[in-house]
Amino acid sequence: MKIFHENDASTEPLKGKTIAIIGYGNQGRPQALCLRDSGLNVIVGSIKDASFGKAVADGFEAMPIAEAAERADLIQILLPDEIQGDVYAKEIAKHVGKGKILCCSHGFSIVFKRIVPPKDADVIMVAPKSPGSEERKEYERGFGVPGLIAVYQNPSGKAKQYALAYAKAMGYTRAGVIECTFQQETYSDLSASRRCCAAE
């Protein structure tokens, strides 16, 4: 198993690209803030009044999801897993294709085919092994939480570089980043949730 650290990654592949954070909740807010603080261009796509307002209050350009998806080079879907498939079909799918990078922080929608991206788009996962509040706190104190990266589709040949760049901008490479597959992350997360439920 390879663990990626600071010197294994550069944010350069994402410099000058537009990153759309779709959903400004537990993960969306800390990811948007950390990416911006690392010098990347971030916009926010949201349909809910509450999170839309929070993003604007934090100084982001916020807009409807379809508009953010259209403008972005990298689309990071950070909506609740149960609604991702519907929102993708209605708002995002038409803006995903050649030259675009589709990203997530949990593989559920891709593994269970709620989202079926076109073959000419890169598809990656960059996921923290931590809740959003912790990842922001760790980033602000100059460190980071551990993370996972995975590549599902790589038509550009640069998908892993994009995933590592994102992970570095989030501070994850300071703690260590493990490469896995979408299936490994999804099934291990689901079985961990089941163990937690059984223990309650």
Ligand X SMILES: NC(=O)c1ccc[n+]([C@@H]2O[C@H](COP(=O)([O-])OP(=O)(O)OC[C@H]3O[C@@H](n4cnc5c(N)ncnc54)[C@H](OP(=O)(O)O)[C@@H]3O)[C@@H](O)[C@H]2O)c1
Enumerate binding residues for ligand X (CB under 6 A): 23-28, 46-48, 50-51, 78-81, 83, 104-106, 127-128, 131-132
Tokens at 146, concatenated: 């551990």
Q: How far is the CB of 196 from ligand X (least distance, A)?
A: 13
**Annotated catalytic, 106?**
yes
Q: Considering beta carbons, is residue 24 or 182 the nearer one to ligand X?
A: 24
Catalytic-labelled residue, pool 100, 106, 160, 168: 106
Q: Shortest approach of ligand X to residue 25 CB, angstroms?
A: 2
- Residue 144: what residue type? G
Q: Which alpha helices (H) appear in the chain, and where do they start and end?
A: 28-37, 49-57, 65-71, 81-87, 108-111, 132-140, 159-169, 172-175, 182-199
Minimum distance from residue 156 beta carbon to ligand X (Å): 23
Round to whole Å and give the CA distance between 58 and 56.
5
Question: Smaller CB distance to ligand X: residue 27 or 38?
Answer: 27
Catalytic residues: 106
